Every structure is written in C-alpha cells, then in structure tokens.
Amino acid sequence: RKEVEQDPGPFNVPEGATVAFNCTYSNSASQSFFWYRQDCRKEPKLLMSVYSSGNEDGRFTAQLNRASQYISLLIRDSKLSDSATYLCVVIDSGNTPLVFGKGTRLSVIA
C-alpha cells in the first residue's frame, strides 16, 4: 500500500520563527505533489503546488526531493494566522488513488 507520512506535530513556534515540515512518500513514480492548509472545522484549501524546481510564494517555500522521496514546506516569519494543519498530497500517474498525509499541526504563539 502506498504511504504518505507526515510528522503530526504539534509544532508550537513563536511569531517570527521559521518552521519546516517534511512529507515522505513511498512510490517513486509519484508525479504530482501539493500542500494544503486546513483550519479547524473548515475544508482543506490549496496552499501550494510543489514543482520539481521548487517554488516560492511570499513567506512559503515548497521543495521536492525525488532522490529521498520527500517534499518540504518552509514557512518564514511565522504569523499567528499561519496556525493550522498542513496536509501534503501525493498523486501517482494515471487513475491511481491520490493520498493525503495525515497532516502536521502548527500553532504559532504570540
């Protein structure tokens, strides 16, 4: 069974801190990767797609390491509003099931 693993946390960090999460996947043929954010009692929302070359969006940077089969999410200058659960998604080629990680919970503390 294909697996996607995330450190569940919680990560408790002070405002302004830099925090990074990893998500490991077991299927080397996986092709698409995403980070989603889910606030308490809300639906998941796309945060970033993860490209082979990595991508950055403001304080957020996502990277893919195919050799070690993990994706990462780096958040710089954490804000209180970044407190949420961060879910990684790994999608294989063709119509095979996509898999969400179980999520990493982040709490940014004033």
Partner 1 sequence: DTAVSQTPKYLVTQMGNDKSIKCEQNLGHDTMYWYKQDSKKFLKIMFSYNNKELIINETVPNRFSPKSPDKAHLNLHINSLELGDSAVYFCASSQDWGNEQFFGPGTRLTVL
- The residues of the shown chain that bind partner 1, judged by CB under 8 A, are 31-32, 34, 42-46, 49, 85, 87, 91, 95, 97-100, 102-103
Please say which residue, 74 or 91, places its beta carbon nearer to partner 1.
91
> Residue 47 is encoded by which pair of tokens?
């945060």
Residue 38 beta carbon to partner 1: minimum distance, rounded to whole angstroms: 8
Q: For residue 78, what are the CA distances in angstroms to 10, 37, 106?
A: 15, 14, 10
Q: Specify the 3-state DSSP secondary structure of 81.
A: helix
Please say which residue, 41 or 110, places its beta carbon nearer to partner 1.
41
Please say which residue, 8 or 16, places its beta carbon nearer to partner 1.
8
> Residue 75 is encoded by which pair of tokens?
């958040």
**Please, are residues 49 and 42 in contact by the beta-carbon 8 Å criterion?**
no
Residue 68 beta carbon to partner 1: minimum distance, rounded to whole angstroms: 22
